[in-house]
Amino acid sequence: ILNVEQSPQSLHVQEGDSTNFTCSFPSSNFYALHWYRWETAKSPEALFVMTLNGDEKKKGRISATLNTKEGYSYLYIKGSQPEDSATYLCARGGGTSYGKLTFGQGTILTVHP
């Protein structure tokens, strides 16, 4: 994998469903994996930053896992609510340039009442 890739590109779920997205990234020269939540007309909001293989983080109904050896991260949302509707971006930090985050194209989540 040369770039940061997210799947699916979009997702429609019903209120109360649990869902998950995938972020795949180059595993060489890895330093950190970020997840952001971006609602329309607002600022991207940091959800998690993970650095260690096997990391798991949780914030309310949202959790994330990290596998740096195989280069992927999962984001889980339990019991989706309409207010969870947003674009979820992952970004990989690392390589030779400090401060450079490479973003995936995002997963657009729509939660229907």
Binding residues for another protein, rule: CB under 8 A, are: 4, 31-32, 34, 36, 41-49, 51, 89, 93-94, 97-106
Cβ contacts of 95 within 8 Å, gap of 6 or more: 29, 31
**CA–CA dist 63, 97 (Å, integer):** 28
| For another protein, the closer CB: 99 or 113 | 99
| For another protein, the closer CB: 5 or 17 | 5
**CA–CA dist 61, 10 (Å, integer):** 20
Whole-number minimum distance, CB 70 to another protein, in Å?
Answer: 20
Provide the total of helices (H) and of strands (E) in the chain, helices listed first: 0, 11
Whole-number minimum distance, CB 113 to another protein, in Å?
Answer: 26
Whole-number minimum distance, CB 35 to another protein, in Å?
Answer: 9
